[in-house]
Amino acid sequence: MVIAEVLRNGVWGWPCEWYEKYPIFNQVQTMTLSDNNDELMWKSKKGIMGKFSIKPAYNDLQTEEESVKWNKLVWYSQNIPKHAFILWLAIQNKLYAKQFWFKVCLKMGVHWNEMEWDNTVNLFAAMENGNTITSIIRRLCLVASVYLIWRERNCRLFKEETRSVEELFEVFSDTIRFRLASLKAKPTSAVIRAQDDWNVQMVILSFMIFQRDVKA
């Protein structure tokens, strides 16, 4: 439906049931139509009227909040998107599983002393969260473990299916290994050590490193 179909001779002709269902239509002012094509307009927060586009509308609708310190812990280019989303949910809702988490931390070489989830997030957020292979693996482990815990929880609740910690950890290890196999990296000692630790062969770049490649 376009405006010309409901505005005739300067009078609105909304369907009768609309007036009953949406009383606000009784308050809509009439307008003068022209021969120009209709345009979708957007009035910004600053009161500026212009053509509608997604980016400014999205920015206007966003709430302005300070960046959280765990931002780079969750969102980075080498992550696994669905895992990152579940980690984000976990940080909001404090998803947890102690036995599995102990095994993950042991694999990462991170000392974890059964601290509260908020403190665990702060511990990881305080670590170096750049583009090094060590940092990337640590964050991949975090998001993958939280995602798998969430999946296991749902399976137990809704499907009455249960996996042991060892079985879940095997899935976790394969997930990290498959992701590492797709990464491009310099042949540094840290990368070689990571390949040995995870029994995986990454894409080694000898002469050229692109912007999103993994550093030492």
> Residue ranges of the domains in the chain?
1-32, 71-204
DSSP sequence for 20-44 = HH-GGGGGPPP----SSPP--EEE-
Per-residue pLDDT, 69: 80
What is the rounded CA–CA span in Å between residue 124 and residue 108?
Answer: 11
Low-confidence ranges of the chain (pLDDT < 50): 207-212
SS3 at position 161: coil
Per-residue pLDDT, 207: 46
**Burial tier of 111 (Cβ tally within 10 Å: 0-12, 13-18, 19+):** exposed
Amino acid, single-letter form, for residue 59: N
Per-residue pLDDT, 120: 83
Per-residue pLDDT, 211: 45
Per-residue pLDDT, 208: 46
Q: Are 122 and 171 in contact (CB under 8 A)?
A: no
Per-residue pLDDT, 117: 74
What is the rounded CA–CA span in Å between residue 129 and residue 124?
Answer: 8
Per-residue pLDDT, 140: 94
Tell me phi and psi for residue 49, to 5 degrees.
-95, 130
The two beta strands, 11-12 and 7-8, are: antiparallel
Residue appearing with tokens 């305080």: 126
Name the region of 185 (left: φ>0; alpha: ψ -120 to 50; beta: rest).
beta
Per-residue pLDDT, 215: 58
CA distances from 168 to 22, 66, 103, 197 (A): 53, 36, 10, 18
Per-residue pLDDT, 94: 55
